[in-house]
Amino acid sequence: MPEKLSDRTVFTLVEVARSIQKTIAERYKSVYWVKAEMNKLNHYSHSGHCYPELVEKRQGQVIAEMRSVLWKADYQRIDRQFIETTKEPLKNGITILFQATISYDPVYGLTLRILDIDPVHALGELQREKLASINRLEEEGIFRANKSLAFPVVPKRLAVISVETSKGYADFLKILQHNPWGYHFEQTLFPALLQGDKSVQAISGQLERIAQQQDAYDVVAIIRGGGGDVGLSSYNHYLLASAIAQFPIPVLTGIGHSTNETVSEMVAYQNAITPSELADFLIQRFHRFAEPVNQAREIVIRKATQLVTQERDALNNQIRYFRLHSMHLVSGQRKALEYGAVRLGMVSKTRLRQGQQDIHHTAQTLRVAASSRCKGTWSNLQAMEKTTQLLDPRQVLRRGYSITRINGKALKSIESIREGDVIETVLAHGSITSKIDELKPLDNG
């Protein structure tokens, strides 16, 4: 009961809350369909319950916000319906049409209890997001930018954005590495989340990394396995589609589904339904280049074989002609040699006799000249011997001469000695050692 204070009626907080609770319970007895954006799902895995944050925006500004609750059983049922209908799980950031009751609790405040969500309406919202992305890309003139790039003749160096453990990625590698022609591809994996709210940022971030080293790669391949049980709405996101559309080298997609082509696939240079199909596309590109090369190789081999055969035949003809001509020439030369040998034999005998006579005469002349020369040389040698004997130092010493030495060297001038030096005087029959007391230079005056 309210409390009376002088002229005022005062209510407690719980009385006010209960009054509001009663009023809302009496006013909102029905179940209502409400449209709002689910800003956050707030799913708690330990309890299975969800506490979605619901908002309404106008021109980017939040004009209404309200709490809600989605109990575990209802969440599981609704999530299954979403996956079956939209191929997407219930998630953050989508506009939903939901059925709810309105209640007020003195502690937890105003709450909408969500009983059901129309997945068909959500599907329409996803389609509107997709169309909005397409229209924006068209208006900016970049929708076909990646498709207009020149595709490499041989797409050998691949930058692959995928999950390392993805089955689609494994299938992709298996087909490339075991192709029957033995074509060799070089793959560099850039790991990224490929589904959920964070996939847009993850894939875009890896595209930025690849762009910084774009010269190292021929194409980019975005590989994702799985089917319709995993969400694809992130591939309709404008930011991801824009990054692919404006990428400087061709982007190829193989994200594993057969319906509802996403915007990212539309703007990519080439879209394959599955990773395996994308691998086949790359192999065919290789084959498209290799086949003409192999054909040209066969033509070159065939032409070269023909040319070698023609040249061999021509060479054999030349050999046969050369052999016949050589035999004829050798036969003629043999006859000429035989005739020449006969003439040479006759001439040689005459010249031999004349030569023998000339040699005999020359030998006689040489003997006489040599004898005379030897006698003259002998006389000269005897005279030189006598002169040498007379000049022998021992003979000179015997005639009264001597040799003076200092330190074993012959002394020729007093300029090389000083007073007090010891000198040696060599005579014919001995030597004298002396000490110099006085030096007297020769007076030339």
Residue 244 pLDDT greater than 90, yes or no = yes
Residue 233 pLDDT greater than 80, yes or no = no
Residue 234 pLDDT greater than 90, yes or no = no
Residue 76's H or E segment, with its range, is helix 72-86
Mean of all residue pLDDT scores within the chain: 86
CA 144 to each of CA 41, 96, 132: distance values in angstroms, whole numbers, following the listed order? 35, 32, 16
Residue 229 pLDDT greater than 60, yes or no = no
Residue 171 pLDDT greater than 80, yes or no = yes
Q: What is the pLDDT of residue 257?
A: 66
Mean pLDDT, residues 228-237 taken together: 68
Percent of residues, the chain, with pLDDT higher than 70: 94
Look up the CATH architecture of domain 139-287: 3-Layer(aba) Sandwich (3.40)
Residue 158 pLDDT greater than 70, yes or no = yes
Mean pLDDT, residues 158-181 taken together: 93
For the ranges 12-16, 204-208, 359-363, the lowest mean pLDDT is seen at 359-363
Mean pLDDT, residues 100-109 taken together: 92
**For the residues of 159-219, what is the DSSP string, one character each?**
EEEE-TT-HHHHHHHHHHHT-TT----EEEEEE---SSTTHHHHHHHHHHHHHTTGGG-SE
Confidence bin at 417 (pLDDT 50/70/90): confident
Fold that domain 3-117 belongs to in CATH: OB fold (Dihydrolipoamide Acetyltransferase, E2P) (2.40.50)
Residue 65's H or E segment, with its range, is strand 61-69
- Please check whether residue 269 is in contact with residue 151, taking contact to mean a CB–CB distance below 8 angstroms: yes
Residue 290 pLDDT greater than 90, yes or no = no
Residue 214 pLDDT greater than 70, yes or no = yes
Residue 173 pLDDT greater than 80, yes or no = yes
Mean pLDDT, residues 349-359 taken together: 78
CA distance 72 to 44: 9
pTM score over 0.85? no
Q: What is the pLDDT of residue 42?
A: 93
For the ranges 48-52, 75-79, 243-247, 389-393, the lowest mean pLDDT is seen at 389-393
Q: What sign has the CA pseudo-torsion 426, 427, 430, 432?
A: negative
Q: What is the pLDDT of residue 259?
A: 61
Residue 395's H or E segment, with its range, is helix 393-398
Percent of residues, the chain, with pLDDT higher than 90: 41
Tens of pLDDT, residues 379-399: 788 878 777 777 777 777 777
Tens of pLDDT, residues 12-21: 899 899 999 9
Mean pLDDT, residues 106-117 taken together: 93
Within 260-392, residue ranges assigned H as helices are: 263-267, 275-390
Q: What is the pLDDT of residue 231?
A: 59
Domain residues of the chain, as ranges? 3-117, 139-287, 395-435
Confidence bin at 144 (pLDDT 50/70/90): very high
Residue 335 pLDDT greater than 60, yes or no = yes
Would you give the DSSP letter of residue 233?
Answer: G
For the ranges 49-53, 142-146, 207-211, 348-352, the lowest mean pLDDT is seen at 348-352
Residue 406 pLDDT greater than 90, yes or no = no
Tens of pLDDT, residues 20-33: 999 998 999 899 99
Report CA dihedral (79, 80, 82, 83) to the nearest 10 degrees.
120
Q: What is the pLDDT of residue 444?
A: 60
What are the beta bridge partners of residue 105? Answer: 109
Confidence bin at 226 (pLDDT 50/70/90): low
Confidence bin at 126 (pLDDT 50/70/90): confident
Residue 36's H or E segment, with its range, is strand 32-40
Residue 2 pLDDT greater than 70, yes or no = no
